[in-house]
A and B are shown apart, each in its own frame.
Chain A
Amino acid sequence: EADIYQTPRYLVIGTGKKITLECSQTMGHDKMYWYQQDPGMELHLIHYSYGVNSTEKGDLSSESTVSRIRTEHFPLTLESARPSHTSQYLCASSALGRQETQYFGPGTRLLVL
Chain B
Amino acid sequence: QKEVEQDPGPLSVPEGAIVSLNCTYSNSAFQYFMWYRQYSRKGPELLMYTYSSGNKEDGRFTAQVDKSSKYISLFIRDSQPSDSATYLCAMSVAGGTSYGKLTFGQGTILTVHP
Which listed residue (A4, A40, A48, A106) contacts B101, Cβ 8 A?
A48
B114 interface residue (CB < 8 Å to A): no
B88 interface residue (CB < 8 Å to A): yes
A51 interface residue (CB < 8 Å to B): no
Question: A107–B38 Cα gap in the complex (Å)?
Answer: 11
A45 interface residue (CB < 8 Å to B): yes
B4 interface residue (CB < 8 Å to A): yes
Min CB–CB distance A47 → chain B (angstroms)? 11
Q: Residue-by-residue, is A14-41 near B (CB-CB < 8 Å gives 1, otherwise 0)?
A: 0000000000000000010000000011
Contact (A42, B46) CB under 8 Å given A59-B101, A100-B100: no
Q: Are B99 and A106 in contact (CB under 8 A)?
A: no
A64 interface residue (CB < 8 Å to B): no
Question: A31–B102 Cα gap in the complex (Å)?
Answer: 13
Q: Which interface class (under 10, 10 to 19, 20 to 34, 35 or more) fits A?
A: 20 to 34
Q: Are A43 and B46 in contact (CB under 8 A)?
A: no
B42 interface residue (CB < 8 Å to A): yes
Q: Are A43 and B88 in contact (CB under 8 A)?
A: yes
Q: Are A99 and B44 in contact (CB under 8 A)?
A: no
Question: A49–B45 Cα gap in the complex (Å)?
Answer: 20
Binding site for A on B (CB under 8 A): 2, 4, 6, 8, 32, 34, 36, 41-46, 49, 88, 90, 92, 99-102, 104-107
Binding site for B on A (CB under 8 A): 2, 4, 6, 31, 40-45, 48, 58-59, 90, 92, 94, 99-107, 109
Q: List 28 A-B contacts (CB under 8 A).
A: A6-B43, A40-B8, A40-B107, A41-B106, A42-B2, A42-B4, A42-B6, A42-B88, A42-B104, A43-B44, A43-B88, A43-B104, A48-B101, A58-B101, A59-B101, A90-B43, A99-B100, A100-B49, A100-B99, A100-B100, A101-B49, A102-B100, A102-B102, A103-B46, A104-B36, A104-B45, A106-B42, A106-B43
